[in-house]
Amino acid sequence: MSTGTMPPLNAATRYCAVWGHPIRHSASPAMQNAGLAALGLDWRYLAFDVRPEQLATALEGARAMRFIGLNLTVPHKLLALELVDVLDESARIWGAVNTIRFEGRDEAGIWRPLAAFADALPESVRSHGFNTDAGALATSLREDLGIALAGARVLLLGAGGAGRAAALKLASENVACLYLVNRTITKATELASEIQTRHPGLRVQVGYPTETVDLVINATSYGLKPGDRSPLEGADFRLTQTGAVYDMIYRPAETPLLRAAQAAGCRTANGLGMLLHQGADALEIWTGQPAPRAIMRAALERNIYGV
Protein backbone atom coordinates (compact mmCIF):
# COMPACT_ATOMS: atom_id res chain seq x y z
CA MET A 1 0.00 0.00 0.00
CA SER A 2 1.31 3.48 -0.80
CA THR A 3 1.91 5.90 2.03
CA GLY A 4 -0.55 8.26 0.28
CA THR A 5 -0.95 11.98 0.70
CA MET A 6 -3.67 13.85 2.50
CA PRO A 7 -5.92 16.20 0.58
CA PRO A 8 -5.43 19.79 1.77
CA LEU A 9 -7.72 20.76 4.65
CA ASN A 10 -11.09 21.84 3.30
CA ALA A 11 -14.66 22.38 4.43
CA ALA A 12 -15.53 18.71 4.00
CA THR A 13 -12.59 17.36 6.04
CA ARG A 14 -13.72 15.06 8.88
CA TYR A 15 -12.07 14.72 12.29
CA CYS A 16 -10.94 12.15 14.83
CA ALA A 17 -8.92 12.99 17.94
CA VAL A 18 -7.15 11.70 21.00
CA TRP A 19 -7.93 13.26 24.35
CA GLY A 20 -5.82 13.02 27.45
CA HIS A 21 -4.35 15.14 30.23
CA PRO A 22 -1.47 15.60 29.54
CA ILE A 23 -1.37 14.83 25.81
CA ARG A 24 1.65 16.68 24.36
CA HIS A 25 3.82 13.57 23.96
CA SER A 26 1.20 11.35 22.34
CA ALA A 27 2.43 9.51 19.24
CA SER A 28 -1.13 8.73 18.13
CA PRO A 29 -1.53 11.71 15.74
CA ALA A 30 1.59 10.65 13.79
CA MET A 31 0.43 7.04 13.61
CA GLN A 32 -3.22 7.73 12.77
CA ASN A 33 -2.61 10.48 10.22
CA ALA A 34 -0.21 8.13 8.39
CA GLY A 35 -3.00 5.53 8.40
CA LEU A 36 -5.59 8.02 7.15
CA ALA A 37 -3.29 9.21 4.35
CA ALA A 38 -2.62 5.63 3.23
CA LEU A 39 -6.37 4.98 3.14
CA GLY A 40 -6.83 8.14 1.05
CA LEU A 41 -9.37 9.60 3.46
CA ASP A 42 -10.08 13.32 3.72
CA TRP A 43 -9.89 13.10 7.51
CA ARG A 44 -7.50 14.45 10.15
CA TYR A 45 -6.58 13.09 13.57
CA LEU A 46 -5.94 15.74 16.22
CA ALA A 47 -4.81 15.78 19.86
CA PHE A 48 -6.46 17.81 22.62
CA ASP A 49 -5.57 18.33 26.26
CA VAL A 50 -8.94 17.74 27.93
CA ARG A 51 -9.28 17.98 31.71
CA PRO A 52 -11.19 15.13 33.32
CA GLU A 53 -13.80 17.50 34.79
CA GLN A 54 -14.52 18.73 31.26
CA LEU A 55 -14.71 15.33 29.57
CA ALA A 56 -18.53 15.34 29.44
CA THR A 57 -18.62 18.86 27.93
CA ALA A 58 -15.93 17.96 25.40
CA LEU A 59 -17.87 14.84 24.39
CA GLU A 60 -20.99 16.93 23.77
CA GLY A 61 -18.88 19.25 21.59
CA ALA A 62 -17.42 16.41 19.53
CA ARG A 63 -20.89 14.95 19.05
CA ALA A 64 -22.31 18.33 17.99
CA MET A 65 -19.43 18.81 15.54
CA ARG A 66 -19.98 15.31 14.12
CA PHE A 67 -16.49 14.00 14.88
CA ILE A 68 -15.93 10.53 13.43
CA GLY A 69 -14.42 9.14 16.60
CA LEU A 70 -12.06 9.55 19.54
CA ASN A 71 -9.30 7.80 21.40
CA LEU A 72 -9.10 8.36 25.13
CA THR A 73 -6.03 8.05 27.26
CA VAL A 74 -5.09 8.76 30.89
CA PRO A 75 -7.12 9.88 32.87
CA HIS A 76 -10.32 9.41 30.82
CA LYS A 77 -10.66 5.67 30.21
CA LEU A 78 -12.69 4.86 33.32
CA LEU A 79 -14.66 8.12 33.40
CA ALA A 80 -15.95 7.51 29.87
CA LEU A 81 -17.66 4.28 30.94
CA GLU A 82 -20.36 6.44 32.54
CA LEU A 83 -20.52 9.02 29.75
CA VAL A 84 -20.97 7.16 26.47
CA ASP A 85 -24.46 6.34 25.20
CA VAL A 86 -23.70 2.70 24.33
CA LEU A 87 -20.99 0.37 25.64
CA ASP A 88 -19.55 -2.30 23.39
CA GLU A 89 -18.92 -5.70 25.01
CA SER A 90 -15.15 -5.02 24.91
CA ALA A 91 -15.49 -1.89 27.05
CA ARG A 92 -17.83 -3.63 29.44
CA ILE A 93 -15.56 -6.66 29.90
CA TRP A 94 -12.25 -4.79 30.21
CA GLY A 95 -13.83 -2.03 32.29
CA ALA A 96 -12.46 0.93 30.32
CA VAL A 97 -13.14 2.92 27.13
CA ASN A 98 -10.19 3.88 24.92
CA THR A 99 -12.12 4.28 21.65
CA ILE A 100 -15.38 6.09 20.88
CA ARG A 101 -17.22 5.87 17.58
CA PHE A 102 -19.92 8.43 16.85
CA GLU A 103 -22.91 6.93 15.09
CA GLY A 104 -25.93 8.42 13.36
CA ARG A 105 -29.38 7.09 12.66
CA ASP A 106 -30.02 6.57 8.96
CA GLU A 107 -33.38 6.92 7.16
CA ALA A 108 -34.30 3.35 8.03
CA GLY A 109 -33.65 4.10 11.71
CA ILE A 110 -30.43 2.03 11.85
CA TRP A 111 -27.37 3.33 13.73
CA ARG A 112 -24.34 3.57 11.45
CA PRO A 113 -20.79 4.93 11.95
CA LEU A 114 -20.61 8.61 11.01
CA ALA A 115 -17.99 7.63 8.42
CA ALA A 116 -20.87 6.07 6.44
CA PHE A 117 -22.63 9.45 6.05
CA ALA A 118 -21.06 11.44 3.24
CA ASP A 119 -23.10 14.55 2.49
CA ALA A 120 -26.11 14.92 4.72
CA LEU A 121 -24.95 14.34 8.28
CA PRO A 122 -27.58 12.75 10.54
CA GLU A 123 -29.64 14.70 13.02
CA SER A 124 -29.33 12.33 15.91
CA VAL A 125 -25.91 11.09 16.94
CA ARG A 126 -24.83 8.75 19.73
CA SER A 127 -21.45 7.80 21.21
CA HIS A 128 -20.42 4.13 21.26
CA GLY A 129 -17.55 3.12 23.57
CA PHE A 130 -15.06 0.32 22.81
CA ASN A 131 -11.84 -1.02 24.28
CA THR A 132 -9.01 -2.01 21.94
CA ASP A 133 -6.21 -2.13 24.55
CA ALA A 134 -6.73 -5.67 25.81
CA GLY A 135 -6.92 -7.26 22.36
CA ALA A 136 -3.85 -5.27 21.29
CA LEU A 137 -1.82 -6.70 24.19
CA ALA A 138 -2.64 -10.27 23.14
CA THR A 139 -1.83 -9.49 19.48
CA SER A 140 1.50 -7.90 20.39
CA LEU A 141 2.48 -10.80 22.70
CA ARG A 142 1.77 -13.25 19.91
CA GLU A 143 3.50 -11.22 17.16
CA ASP A 144 6.47 -9.82 19.06
CA LEU A 145 7.24 -12.69 21.45
CA GLY A 146 5.54 -15.69 19.84
CA ILE A 147 3.55 -16.24 23.06
CA ALA A 148 0.38 -18.34 23.00
CA LEU A 149 -1.47 -17.30 26.14
CA ALA A 150 -3.58 -20.42 26.59
CA GLY A 151 -1.80 -22.58 29.15
CA ALA A 152 0.97 -20.04 29.84
CA ARG A 153 2.27 -19.17 33.31
CA VAL A 154 2.47 -15.40 33.66
CA LEU A 155 3.88 -12.97 36.24
CA LEU A 156 2.10 -9.61 35.89
CA LEU A 157 3.60 -6.51 37.51
CA GLY A 158 1.06 -3.74 38.19
CA ALA A 159 -2.54 -3.60 39.29
CA GLY A 160 -3.47 -0.09 38.09
CA GLY A 161 -5.71 0.58 35.08
CA ALA A 162 -3.40 -1.09 32.55
CA GLY A 163 -2.60 -3.99 34.89
CA ARG A 164 -6.25 -4.69 35.60
CA ALA A 165 -7.22 -4.84 31.91
CA ALA A 166 -4.18 -7.04 31.19
CA ALA A 167 -5.02 -9.42 34.04
CA LEU A 168 -8.62 -9.79 32.88
CA LYS A 169 -7.50 -10.40 29.29
CA LEU A 170 -4.92 -13.00 30.35
CA ALA A 171 -7.56 -14.78 32.43
CA SER A 172 -10.02 -14.79 29.53
CA GLU A 173 -7.33 -16.27 27.26
CA ASN A 174 -7.04 -19.22 29.68
CA VAL A 175 -3.54 -18.75 31.02
CA ALA A 176 -2.63 -21.66 33.31
CA CYS A 177 -1.70 -19.45 36.25
CA LEU A 178 -1.33 -15.82 37.00
CA TYR A 179 0.99 -14.25 39.59
CA LEU A 180 0.11 -10.66 40.51
CA VAL A 181 2.56 -8.22 42.07
CA ASN A 182 1.93 -4.55 42.85
CA ARG A 183 3.68 -1.92 44.97
CA THR A 184 0.42 -1.40 46.86
CA ILE A 185 -0.34 -4.97 47.84
CA THR A 186 -4.04 -4.41 48.62
CA LYS A 187 -4.67 -3.48 44.97
CA ALA A 188 -3.13 -6.78 43.82
CA THR A 189 -5.20 -8.68 46.40
CA GLU A 190 -8.43 -6.99 45.27
CA LEU A 191 -7.66 -7.66 41.62
CA ALA A 192 -6.80 -11.29 42.36
CA SER A 193 -10.12 -11.87 44.09
CA GLU A 194 -12.03 -10.15 41.27
CA ILE A 195 -10.34 -12.43 38.75
CA GLN A 196 -10.85 -15.50 40.87
CA THR A 197 -14.58 -14.73 41.07
CA ARG A 198 -14.87 -14.27 37.31
CA HIS A 199 -12.59 -17.22 36.44
CA PRO A 200 -12.92 -19.78 39.25
CA GLY A 201 -10.83 -22.38 37.38
CA LEU A 202 -7.76 -20.18 37.09
CA ARG A 203 -4.85 -20.30 39.55
CA VAL A 204 -4.28 -16.71 40.73
CA GLN A 205 -1.65 -15.90 43.33
CA VAL A 206 -0.48 -12.61 44.80
CA GLY A 207 3.31 -12.48 45.00
CA TYR A 208 6.32 -13.79 43.09
CA PRO A 209 6.38 -17.38 41.82
CA THR A 210 8.97 -19.83 43.06
CA GLU A 211 8.50 -21.90 39.88
CA THR A 212 9.54 -20.82 36.39
CA VAL A 213 7.09 -18.86 34.22
CA ASP A 214 6.70 -18.35 30.48
CA LEU A 215 6.23 -14.61 30.58
CA VAL A 216 6.69 -11.51 32.75
CA ILE A 217 4.63 -8.43 31.83
CA ASN A 218 5.36 -4.98 33.23
CA ALA A 219 2.12 -2.99 33.40
CA THR A 220 3.45 -0.46 35.92
CA SER A 221 4.70 2.98 34.95
CA TYR A 222 8.01 2.27 36.71
CA GLY A 223 10.72 2.48 34.04
CA LEU A 224 9.26 5.50 32.26
CA LYS A 225 11.31 8.17 34.02
CA PRO A 226 15.08 8.66 33.77
CA GLY A 227 16.57 7.23 36.96
CA ASP A 228 13.90 4.52 37.30
CA ARG A 229 15.33 1.05 37.73
CA SER A 230 13.95 -2.38 36.94
CA PRO A 231 10.75 -3.13 38.89
CA LEU A 232 12.30 -6.54 39.59
CA GLU A 233 15.44 -5.14 41.22
CA GLY A 234 15.70 -6.57 44.72
CA ALA A 235 12.65 -8.78 44.11
CA ASP A 236 12.37 -12.38 45.12
CA PHE A 237 12.45 -13.41 41.47
CA ARG A 238 15.30 -13.98 39.02
CA LEU A 239 14.99 -13.22 35.30
CA THR A 240 16.42 -16.67 34.57
CA GLN A 241 13.04 -17.93 35.86
CA THR A 242 11.25 -16.64 32.74
CA GLY A 243 11.50 -17.22 29.00
CA ALA A 244 10.17 -13.84 27.91
CA VAL A 245 9.62 -10.31 29.22
CA TYR A 246 7.14 -7.75 27.84
CA ASP A 247 7.28 -4.12 29.00
CA MET A 248 4.21 -2.04 28.12
CA ILE A 249 6.46 1.03 28.23
CA TYR A 250 7.71 1.99 24.75
CA ARG A 251 9.55 5.22 25.59
CA PRO A 252 12.43 4.60 26.29
CA ALA A 253 12.63 1.73 23.80
CA GLU A 254 14.79 -0.24 26.22
CA THR A 255 13.84 0.08 29.89
CA PRO A 256 16.16 -1.14 32.66
CA LEU A 257 13.86 -4.18 32.95
CA LEU A 258 14.26 -5.07 29.26
CA ARG A 259 18.02 -4.52 29.42
CA ALA A 260 18.33 -6.87 32.38
CA ALA A 261 16.04 -9.40 30.69
CA GLN A 262 18.16 -9.42 27.54
CA ALA A 263 21.29 -9.91 29.63
CA ALA A 264 19.58 -12.89 31.26
CA GLY A 265 18.86 -14.41 27.82
CA CYS A 266 15.08 -13.74 27.75
CA ARG A 267 13.09 -12.88 24.62
CA THR A 268 11.97 -9.26 25.04
CA ALA A 269 9.56 -6.74 23.53
CA ASN A 270 8.43 -3.25 24.46
CA GLY A 271 4.92 -1.80 24.26
CA LEU A 272 5.16 -0.32 20.77
CA GLY A 273 3.25 -3.24 19.27
CA MET A 274 0.44 -2.76 21.78
CA LEU A 275 0.28 0.96 20.99
CA LEU A 276 0.17 0.15 17.27
CA HIS A 277 -2.57 -2.46 17.47
CA GLN A 278 -4.85 -0.51 19.82
CA GLY A 279 -4.66 2.39 17.36
CA ALA A 280 -5.07 0.26 14.24
CA ASP A 281 -8.06 -1.55 15.76
CA ALA A 282 -9.62 1.85 16.58
CA LEU A 283 -9.07 3.02 13.00
CA GLU A 284 -10.86 -0.10 11.75
CA ILE A 285 -13.76 0.56 14.12
CA TRP A 286 -14.14 4.07 12.67
CA THR A 287 -13.56 3.29 8.96
CA GLY A 288 -14.76 -0.31 8.58
CA GLN A 289 -11.61 -0.90 6.47
CA PRO A 290 -8.42 -2.87 7.24
CA ALA A 291 -5.86 -0.55 8.84
CA PRO A 292 -2.48 -0.16 7.07
CA ARG A 293 -0.54 -1.52 10.06
CA ALA A 294 2.96 -1.56 8.50
CA ILE A 295 2.65 2.10 7.53
CA MET A 296 1.28 3.01 10.95
CA ARG A 297 4.12 1.13 12.66
CA ALA A 298 6.74 2.96 10.57
CA ALA A 299 5.12 6.31 11.46
CA LEU A 300 5.18 5.41 15.15
CA GLU A 301 8.84 4.38 15.05
CA ARG A 302 9.77 7.62 13.28
CA ASN A 303 7.80 9.69 15.78
CA ILE A 304 9.03 7.97 18.92
CA TYR A 305 12.55 6.83 18.08
CA GLY A 306 13.35 9.10 15.13
CA VAL A 307 14.23 6.13 12.88
Q: Could you say whether residue 222 binds ligand ATR (CB under 6 A)?
A: yes
**Residue nearest ligand ATR, Cβ-based:** 160
Q: By C-alpha distance, which of 131, 123, 125 is closest to 113?
A: 125
Q: Could you say whether residue 33 binds ligand ATR (CB under 6 A)?
A: no
Is the preceding peptide bond at 292 cis, omega within 30 degrees of 0?
no
| Active-site pick, 77, 169, 187, 225 | 77
Instruction: Judge contact between 16 and 46, C-beta under 8 A.
Output: yes
Q: Binding marks (x or -) toward ligand ATR, 120..159, rule CB under 6 A?
A: --------------------------------------xx
Backbone angles phi, psi at 232, to 5 degrees: -95, 0
Q: Could you say whether residue 252 binds ligand ATR (CB under 6 A)?
A: no
Min separation Cβ 161 and ligand ATR, Å? 3
H/E segment holding residue 100: strand 99-105
Bridging pattern class, strands 153-157 and 125-130: unpaired
Q: Which one, 183 or 238, has the nearer CB to ligand ATR? A: 183
CA atoms within 13 A on the CB side of 29: 14
Residues 270 and 272: their CA atoms lie apart, in Å, by 6
Min separation Cβ 105 and ligand ATR, Å? 34
Q: Could you say whether residue 231 binds ligand ATR (CB under 6 A)?
A: yes
Q: Which one, 36 or 171, has the nearer CB to ligand ATR? A: 171
- Judge whether 77 counts as a catalytic residue: yes
Residues that bind ligand ATR (CB under 6 A): 74, 158-163, 182-184, 187, 220-222, 231
